[in-house]
């Protein structure tokens, strides 16, 4: 099995507690609402929403893929840390085993946030993840981040 890791940061003017509540704790409801072309729905298959919970994401009409299944590994509301693993999906093909993600939201400048993400791709056999596929994933994640951020700016009383 091969391993490829990448990191990226997004800076936001939204405070960490609002960003964490919306981006992590209520993402199942908020993302389909603000970006239905990306994520159509999120269904809990097993668990109570905490660690060990498995969810099925159904992608929207604008996606070339249909679904992905992920497991929540850790939710640390005090330190704004969220760990989850994408277990399967039609984007995996015969190359990917899983993708582990760690999202940490920290205090940023002027009361805002810095959202740091580390994604680790676990490949089957000796497959290597092409740089353009990683870039594509980063761009999709950034689009979701920016859509949530815009929603929070437009609705300043939500997720306080």
CATH numeric code, 2-36+72-154: 3.30.530.20
Residue 120, sorted as left (phi over 0), alpha (psi -120 to 50) or beta, turns out to be beta
Residue recorded with tokens 């940490």 = 104
Please provide the DSSP assignment of 111-157 as one string: G-EEEEEEEEEEESTT----HHHHHHHHHHHHHHHHHHHHHHHH-TT
Is the pLDDT assigned to residue 28 strictly greater than 90?
yes
Q: What are phi and psi of 149, to 5 degrees?
A: -60, -45
Residue 25 above 90 pLDDT?
yes
Q: What is the pLDDT of residue 68?
A: 93
pLDDT, the chain, mean: 91
Is it the case that residue 112 has pLDDT exceeding 90? yes
- The pTM of the full predicted model, rounded to 2 decimals, is 0.91
Cα dihedral 6→117→98→26 (10° resolution):
-160
pLDDT in tens, 116-159: 999 998 988 877 777 887 788 788 888 889 999 999 999 999 99
In the prediction, which pLDDT does 19 show?
Answer: 96
What pLDDT, in 10s, does the model give residues 46-91?
999 999 999 999 998 877 889 999 999 999 999 999 999 999 988 8
Report the range out of 15-19, 94-98, 107-111, 132-136 with the highest average pLDDT: 15-19
Answer yes or no: is pLDDT of 15 > 70: yes
3-class DSSP state for residue 113?
strand
């Amino acid at each position: 099995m091969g391993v490829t890791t990448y990191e990226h940061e997004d800076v936001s003017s939204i405070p960490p507690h609002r960003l964490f509540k919306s981006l992590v704790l209520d993402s199942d409801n908020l993302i389909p609402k603000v970006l239905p072309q990306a994520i159509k729905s999120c269904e809990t298959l097993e668990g109570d929403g905490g660690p060990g919970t498995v969810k099925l994401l159904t992608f929207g009409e604008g996606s070339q893929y249909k679904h992905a299944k992920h497991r929540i590994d850790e939710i640390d509301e005090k330190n704004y840390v969220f760990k989850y693993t994408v277990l399967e999906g039609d984007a995996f093909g015969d190359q990917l085993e899983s993708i582990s993600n760690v999202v940490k939201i920290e205090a940023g400048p002027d009361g805002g946030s810095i959202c740091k993400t580390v994604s680790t791709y676990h490949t089957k056999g000796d497959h290597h993840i092409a740089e353009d596929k990683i870039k594509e994933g980063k761009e999709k994640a950034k689009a979701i981040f920016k859509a949530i951020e815009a929603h929070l700016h437009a609705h300043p009383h939500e997720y306080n």
